[in-house]
A and B are shown apart, each in its own frame.
Chain A
Amino acid sequence: GEDVEQSLFLSVREGDSSVINCTYTDSSSTYLYWYKQEPGAGLQLLTYIFSNMDMKQDQRLTVLLNKKDKHLSLRIADTQTGDSAIYFCADVNNAGNMLTFGGGTRLMVKP
């Protein structure tokens, strides 16, 4: 079945850029998603990209999609301590009936 992989942990200094990577095996999805989870809270939709796009920019966030390599990335410019959270990429499986999440990347921002 669908498999979505992320690195577990990323640590950056405040003001630096963060890049969180995600790879997936199959996708029939119209969208690919990035969700943010802060401690004790549910998942909050951060951004998404249409599958026919290569890049989407939304203020400090840039999403890059390489469909050939099945690679999705999220870049956070000027990372702040408030960006510390777990970030999940998610994709709809080939059957189109299930959202598959990566294991999450914990971003730690040091002052």
Chain B
Amino acid sequence: EAQVTQNPRYLITVTGKKLTVTCSQNMNHEYMSWYRQDPGLGLRQIYYSMNVEVTDKGDVPEGYKVSRKEKRNFPLILESPSPNQTSLYFCASSLAGIDQPQHFGDGTRLSIL
């Protein structure tokens, strides 16, 4: 089944404790991205990757890192999480770029205390 898989789905942690949210897609998609969803703000893009070893900042990249060492995986790293990063996070992928239908994971709810 074609899908985008995120882990964990839920995480409660404390300020300053490094965490990684994994994202994997099995559709051989070139393009992957991360969004955060906050009430009333829709989804805002954090980082995106056009292809392996190519990443770029989105709208709200501060406090986040990503890597794209393999085509299928695009982890989101919070080196020193803070409470303002409490949010619902989505990973998405598409065949070749932003101007194509995006396939979304089911989301990761992060709570930073």
Contact = CB atoms under 8 A, between A and B. Distances in A.
Contacts, number: 59
A96 B105 contact: no
Contact of B42 (A41, A45, A104): A104
Interface string B42-61: 11110010000000101100
B90 interface: yes
B104 A44 contact: yes
A29 B101 CA distance: 12
A41 B43 contact: no
Given A96-B99, A97-B56, A97-B98, A103 B104 contact: no
B75 interface: no
B81 interface: no
B42 A33 contact: no
Contact of B58 (A29, A42, A98, A102): A98
A88 B99 contact: no
A77 B22 CA distance: 39
Interface residues of B, number: 25
A43 B43 CA distance: 10
Contact of B90 (A29, A42, A92): A42
Interface string A30-71: 110101000011111100100000000000000000000000
Given A41-B107, A42-B107, A99 B42 contact: no
Nearest to A99: B98
B30 interface: no
Contact of B103 (A29, A45, A92, A99): A45
